[in-house]
């Protein structure tokens, strides 16, 4: 008898297991000869090599579906378990432009030639400058690339920063503490993140500082390893700000 331990990665166990583990019954029925134990983010399986290999293929397809669409039903699980070519059902024909799958299966893709070029150059270079008019998707595409890198475990954290340049209003006259004063300036970054990461997971990432959003002035002196760092609205930086970044 062979034993195998699998990790479900960044997937929320509740989304996979269901209420009172009701989604797990389908998995256990599909592999009656396997001993399957689910504990937190670990799945332990014991059985023959062939059964374990088949189970690994199916559970990875289920996890891929859940990561892409943000949710999975018992019916979805059963269709993946019992159909021979399950991937063709939920994979789109043209995946080369897809950057990341957001909430509820929302597809974030490079839509324009320049956005596609931005994705390609980001994969080939450590530093990328993106210039263009407002509304051309520079920030949104950059955030999507950062989220993809985090999901693929290429980085351990995401740092999103921008200079808090006042546009006629003084920061000091805005109500609230420092965070509440600067949040309106960072709203575009939050909007992009909320499209791509479920609210509860995004809050967890923010609380644990896996994802950090801060004005550039407060980033001085930081040492950041294994991070995807985005400087938004960089045209508002001074020379000193740019060198600091």
- pLDDT exceeds 70 at position 11: yes
Q: List the structure tokens of 201.
A: 């997971």
Query: Are residues 78 and 106 both part of a single domain?
Result: no
Query: Are residues 134 and 222 both part of a single domain?
Result: yes
> What CATH number does residue 22 fall under?
3.30.1370.10
Residues 6+ apart with CB under 8 A from 222: none
Q: List the structure tokens of 191.
A: 């909007």
Q: Provide φ and ψ at 46, rounded to 5°.
A: -135, 135
> What CATH number does residue 159 fall under?
3.40.50.300
193-226 pLDDT, tens digit per residue, is 888 888 888 888 988 989 988 778 777 778 788 9
Query: Are residues 81 and 22 both part of a single domain?
Result: yes
Query: Are residues 116 and 236 both part of a single domain?
Result: yes
Q: How many domains does the chain fold into?
A: 2
pLDDT attached to residue 227: 92
Give the separation between CA 37 and CA 127, rounded to whole angstroms. 44
Q: List the structure tokens of 222.
A: 């930081």
Query: Can you give the residue range of the structural domain that contains 227?
Result: 98-244
Query: Are residues 170 and 240 both part of a single domain?
Result: yes
Query: Are residues 71 and 108 both part of a single domain?
Result: no
Query: Are residues 113 and 192 both part of a single domain?
Result: yes
The pLDDT mean for the chain works out to: 80
Confidence band (pLDDT; 50, 70, 90) for 133? confident
144-174 pLDDT, tens digit per residue, is 999 989 888 889 999 988 886 655 555 555 5
Q: What is the pTM of this model?
A: 0.61
Q: Is 23 left (phi over 0), alpha (psi -120 to 50) or beta?
A: alpha
**Domain end among 47, 62, 90:** 90
């Amino acid at each position: 008898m062979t034993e195998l331990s699998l990790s479900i990665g960044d997937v929320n166990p509740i989304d996979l297991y269901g209420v009172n583990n009701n989604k797990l019954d389908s998995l256990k029925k599909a592999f009656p000869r396997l001993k399957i134990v689910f504990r937190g983010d670990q799945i332990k399986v014991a059985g023959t090599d062939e059964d374990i290999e088949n189970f690994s293929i199916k559970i990875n397809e289920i996890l891929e579906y859940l990561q892409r669409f943000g949710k999975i039903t018992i019916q979805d699980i059963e269709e993946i378990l019992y159909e021979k070519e399950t991937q063709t059902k939920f994979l789109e024909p043209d995946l080369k432009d897809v950057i990341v799958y957001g909430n509820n299966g929302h597809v974030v893709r490079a839509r324009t030639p320049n956005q596609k070029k931005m994705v390609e150059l980001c994969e080939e270079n450590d530093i990328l400058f993106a210039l263009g008019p407002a509304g051309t998707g520079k920030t949104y595409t950059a955030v999507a690339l950062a989220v993809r890198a985090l999901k693929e475990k290429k980085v351990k954290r995401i740092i999103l920063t921008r200079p808090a340049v006042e546009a006629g209003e003084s920061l000091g006259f805005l109500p609230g503490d420092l965070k509440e004063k600067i949040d309106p300036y960072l709203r575009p970054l939050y909007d992009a993140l909320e499209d791509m990461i479920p609210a509860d997971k995004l809050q967890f990432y923010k609380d644990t500082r896996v994802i950090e959003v801060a004005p550039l002035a407060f980033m001085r002196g930081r040492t950041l390893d294994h991070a995807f760092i985005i400087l938004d609205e960089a045209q508002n930086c001074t020379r000193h700000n740019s060198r600091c970044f």
